[in-house]
Structure 1
């Protein structure tokens, strides 16, 4: 019971912050599973399954707000899901140390970039959603999907900033797309692949799922109510913390 309570509290906190900032549940949840004794591959697969519940909780809240466009959602899924499948298929055979260090540097850079760009993500100015510019954008989505499938700590933040910087979304819309499409569909795809290739610690799953759904719903509620400024600050805090954690892991 004590272990289940620890897992629930950690999962709730991780997914509340993730739903508010547009990614980063792995900052707490993934290393927590490793610290509690799970091997890397088992912790990775277990965390990936639990993040699907984050997507479910966020979806329940964001669908009430109705910010997602069908065409753009289809673009994100079409470009990203193949990358997720490829990334999840190869990660268990790759030593994680170098990849985690590289990801940490990039994630820290995202946070600092947002800090020094005060107007980034404050307004909704859609762009690059047709022609050759869309092809480049979809390539970026594929690469981010590969990272999402292979390295699970904080890659939703890459999708959030790509939707803002390249496609012109504001923070609130970008976070909604990230949590619903990345959280539910991308992570669901990765969970299926990792579950098939590896092992999942099902004994801890009830506490993880409960914390993920509740944290995802309540974090999304706060994000919708507070708006872009709060989301931007949460994004910056989470990216900087994740970057430092990965660099000094």
Structure 2
């Protein structure tokens, strides 16, 4: 029964995450803790499972050929060092205060996006000069630290940063987030947490299956329904994640 519960929780959480550009930890991480895992073990196990979300979404998004290779490498180079630093710090730091602060910021993301009706509806690349890329890379480095240390909602930050700073539409931003953050950032974080802590390997088959199927299905829905639906989903998930982090 635990394995079946893990599969369905993972499927639902990752389907919505793949559609909106983040937020799988809203449901998946609390369930792992509820079933008896300590926070550090639950976080590492969730990170490993989230890699399958990235793989499932990648399989679907690569068929659309909308990603720029050089920009994708830039996101990886800027964010991965932050992921490693964040993962190495979180196991030694009480997380409650950080979760409340992150919750307030995540809630703000949803409200900000909702107040700007045209945000992310058109692809208008911006800040691609040297100064803009340096500032954008610094933002991605900071978001990488958040991703390595706190799992709920950090993908939402990356999605909105790509929309607001670099001028991507929501559809492209979600694709970058799911592929690069879901697969590579989370994979690096899982490796760091696995080395420094431990992973509940016996629970991973159900979680991986749900993440893989949910990631593919969510990416398919995002591609079919376009920017307006993705924007609305992003805002709803951001508000829910923010409230969940604040109330604990």
State the TM-score, normalized to the length of structure 1. 0.99
Superposition deviation, residue 154 in structure 1: 1.1
- 1:199 maps to 2:176: no
How many Å apart are 1:130 and its aligned residue?
2.0
Q: Counterparts of 1:126 and 1:147 in 2: how far apart (Å)?
A: 25
Residue 67 of structure 1 and its aligned partner are, at CA, apart by: 1.1
Aligned to 1:68: 67
Structure 1 distance, partners of 2:152, 2:188, is 16
TM-score (norm 2): 0.99
Instruction: Measure, in 1, the Cα distance between the counterparts of 2:66 and 2:35.
Output: 38
Aligned-partner Cα distance in 2 for 1:34–1:155: 19
SS of equivalent residue, structure 1 residue 157: helix
| Misfit runs of 4+, over 2 Å | none
Task: Quote the offset at 1:123 in angstroms.
Answer: 0.4
State the 1:131 CA deviation.
Answer: 1.1
1:132 aligns with 2:134: no
For 2:178 and 2:246, how far apart are their aligned partners in 1? 25
Structure 1 residue 185, shift from structure 2 partner: 0.5
Alpha-carbon deviations, 1:124-163, whole Å to 9, x = none? 0001122111100000000000000000111000000000
SS at 1:119 equivalent = coil
Matches within 5 A, 1:131-150: 131-150=130-149
Runs of 5+ consecutive residues of structure 2 not aligned to the other structure: none
SS for the counterpart of 1:16 is helix
Structure 2 counterpart of 1:178: 177
Give 1:95's aligned residue: 94
| Aligned-partner Cα distance in 1 for 2:75–2:127 | 13
Q: How many residues align?
A: 248
Alignment-derived partner of residue 167 in structure 2: 168
User: Where does residue 84 of structure 2 map in the other structure?
Assistant: 85
1:167-209 superposed Cα distances (whole Å, 9 cap, x missing partner): 0000000000000000011000001000000010011100000
User: What does residue 22 of structure 2 align with?
Assistant: 23
Secondary structure of the residue aligned to 2:126 is: coil
Distance (Å, rounded) in 1 between the aligned partners of 2:45 and 2:129: 37
Q: Deviations over 1:33-62 (max 9, x none)?
A: 001110000000000000000000000000
Q: How does 1:220-235 map to 2 (within 5 A)?
A: 220-235=219-234
The SS at the match of 2:91 is helix
Partner SS for 1:54: helix
State the secondary structure of the residue aligned to 1:64: coil
Shift of residue 12 of structure 1?
Answer: 0.3
* Residue matched to 2:217: 218
Question: Could you list the runs of 5+ residues in structure 1 that have no partner in the other structure?
Answer: none
Give the secondary structure class of the aligned counterpart of 1:110. Answer: helix
Residue in structure 2 matched with residue 3 of structure 1 by the alignment: 2
